[in-house]
Chains A and B, each alone.
Chain A
Amino acid sequence: MNKIRQPAIIALAAVLTVAACATPNRPQIVTDPYANAGGGAIYQGDLQGGALGGNASAEYFRTTVGDTVIFPAEQTSLTAEARTTLTRQAAWLKEHTGFTASVEGHADEKGTREYNLALGARRANSVQEYLIAQGVEASRIRTNTYGKERPLEICSTELCFAQNRRAQTVVSQGAGT
């Protein structure tokens, strides 16, 4: 985990370590993660494991890139909107090569438990294939399915079902498998 591969990152780590010593009880917030990455090096994210700003964080991926795509009922193919989101995800993953992705497929509760596990797996695979086609290394992405076991929304109307038929890409730092 948190393998440091590039000299520029070591330099940044040193800066952060010094900063962290000054305020030992709080994670250091760096607002511009590229400030110290002079030679075009790729910033690898929060080396202290805390809340680091910038776009090189799981938080940024989740809130700004968009980690979730939704599917029409019983469908596993990607909508135009989903492809737009996934194009952004792919670009981010290609930029942040120190992150790996777990794509979790989900289904709404209107289906049997076992079929929905299979459906979730297929949705996760649709996302994985798209990301690979966009140039993300296959070894950095693995899929999972939760079927209907982990709904995002808990109401029992189409409003919630639509949000629950989803594939969520969860990124984390670390070498690929």
Chain B
Amino acid sequence: MPMIRRLTLALSLGLTTALTAAPVLAQDSGPLRIEITDGVVEPMPFAIATFHGTDEVTGLVQNLIAADLTGTDLFREIPASAHLARRDSFEEPVTYEDWRAINAEALVTGEVSVEGDIVSVRFRLFDVVSGQPLGDGMQMQSAKADWRRAAHKVADQVYARLTGEKAYFDSRVAFVQETGPKDARRKRLGVMDYDGANIDWLTDDAALVLSPRMSPDGNSILYTSFESGFPQIKVMDVASVTSRPLTQSGDSMAFSPRFSPDGRWIVYSLEKAGNSDIWQMDPSSGAARALIESPAIETSPSYSPDGSQIVFESDRSGSPQLYTMPATGGVEPTRISFAEGRYGTPVWSPLGDLIAFTRQIGEKFHIGVMRADGSNEKILTESFLDEGPTWAPNGRVVMFTRVTPGGDGEPRLHSVDITGRNMRPLDLSFAASDPAWGPLLP
């Protein structure tokens, strides 16, 4: 069942003060800090002392923490075979010189215990260079079956303390699975952990489904469905796997939906007599009004994180370009993209600083980011067809669809950080498209 699995952050054992204390401590943590926006060339070497614990899940938890951290390409793990320190218990004091000797700059120690169906993961983080703990130790508790979430939570703490950025590993991603030949594709909606684990299926593949979008709380998903034979917008309740249509007019089509940051509104494209404009709807009442009307195509609207602005795509200039305007509408939009090619699928970063987009230049497609006023554009990727970026909840990584060319071409999900340096495919055994990254889980 696609339940949101609750994780208990146990404030016990004298290990921890409070979860929210960690980022504050990280900001005061002195020299040990990675600046993501600077385009790190050399990953920070760190070590994970072999976790203590007798349950078989101990090694799995440790390996997943390592995979989360090294997957960012900001950290390089020093393998256990190189470790000098031999630790007998989680409580044993750290011998910093042993870790300095192997050039580890940070050290994670941990212990995993299982009682009945509950797994508890305790960890501590150390700044080896200065020989001090980095923030408080913590204990994460979860159902044993959800040990991955406990591991992601630990990795999130380590990542946040070492980078000063917000965490993102303990999060879910909605996506569309694609099967069958290119001219008769079947698609179904799924949701998974950010790393491709724990997939829950939300629809069968009887009708085409496109471009899912998570609600700010992750509890519901907007998507475009051809269930009626025509593209219309539906909303799926993830916990109960029940959906209802939000649009169903007989003479218009609707697509490209997205929630407002407070979850109270959706913006979307509504097509009437061939012309697509941007509308806003209160999904609880169905009341809708046009926000942006013109004879041109307007689509792919996305709110700024404070809800005050909307960025969208329009071909009013003759080719698809990006525009921003106040979310209340009624004002002439401001064009923000001016370079060569066609721009589409703008998405405002949850931090508000950047807008990610798809850009087509000649025969190539790119994922890029720019500031909200269109300045400082940076191209992150290039391929036959890249499209549809979605932001990690911390605004430092985007996931997108990359399609390979040809008759047997198929889409795969990839992620890239905003430096463009760490591009990698998601580890999925099937073709998938249209990722939609949800919030950091509580």
List B398-425 residues whose CB lies under 8 Å from chain A.
403, 405-407, 409
Interface size on B, residues (CB 8 A): 47
- In the complex, whether B93 has a CB less than 8 A from a CB of chain A is no
Q: Are A149 and B210 in contact (CB under 8 A)?
A: yes
List A137-177 residues whose CB lies under 8 Å from chain B.
142-147, 149-156, 177
- In the complex, whether B211 has a CB less than 8 A from a CB of chain A is yes
Chain A residues positioned under 8 Å from B299 (CB to CB): 114-115, 117-118
Interface size on A, residues (CB 8 A): 34
Q: Are A154 and B407 in contact (CB under 8 A)?
A: yes
Task: Select the stretch in A10-18, A31-39, A44-52, A121-129 that faces chain B.
Answer: A121-129
Q: Are A149 and B208 in contact (CB under 8 A)?
A: yes
- In the complex, whether B360 has a CB less than 8 A from a CB of chain A is yes
Q: Are B407 and A122 in contact (CB under 8 A)?
A: no
List A81-111 residues whose CB lies under 8 Å from chain B.
109-111
Chain B min CB distance to A102 (Å): 9
Chain B residues positioned under 8 Å from A76 (CB to CB): 274
- In the complex, whether B6 has a CB less than 8 A from a CB of chain A is no
List B207-236 residues whose CB lies under 8 Å from chain A.
208, 210-211, 224, 229-231
- Residue in B274, B275, B300 whose Cβ sees the most chain A Cβ within 10 Å: B274
* Chain A residue at minimum C-beta to C-beta distance from B187: A149
Chain B min CB distance to A156 (Å): 4
* Chain A residue at minimum C-beta to C-beta distance from B277: A118
Q: Are B274 and A124 in contact (CB under 8 A)?
A: yes
| Distance in angstroms between the alpha carbons of A153 and B182 in the assembled complex | 9
Chain B min CB distance to A108 (Å): 11
* Chain B residue at minimum C-beta to C-beta distance from A123: B274
Task: Select the stretch in B70-78, B140-148, B380-388 that faces chain A.
Answer: B380-388
- In the complex, whether A112 has a CB less than 8 A from a CB of chain B is yes
Chain A residues positioned under 8 Å from B273 (CB to CB): 125
List B222-271 residues whose CB lies under 8 Å from chain A.
224, 229-231, 250-251, 253, 255-256, 269, 271
Contact of A143 among B274, B320, B407 (CB under 8 A): B274
- In the complex, whether A58 has a CB less than 8 A from a CB of chain B is no
Given contacts A114-B299, A152-B183, contact A144 B230 (CB under 8 A): yes
- In the complex, whether B171 has a CB less than 8 A from a CB of chain A is no
| Distance in angstroms between the alpha carbons of A14 and B75 in the assembled complex | 81
Q: Give me the interface of A with B, judged by CB distance under 8 Å.
A: 74, 76, 109-115, 117-119, 121-122, 124-126, 128-129, 142-147, 149-156, 177
Q: Give me the interface of B with A, judged by CB distance under 8 Å.
A: 181-185, 208, 210-211, 224, 229-231, 250-251, 253, 255-256, 269, 271, 273-276, 297, 299-300, 313, 315, 319-320, 342, 344-345, 358, 360, 363, 384-385, 387-388, 403, 405-407, 409, 433-434
8 tightest CB-CB pairs across the interface, nearest first? A125-B274, A156-B405, A112-B344, A118-B276, A154-B407, A154-B182, A118-B297, A114-B256
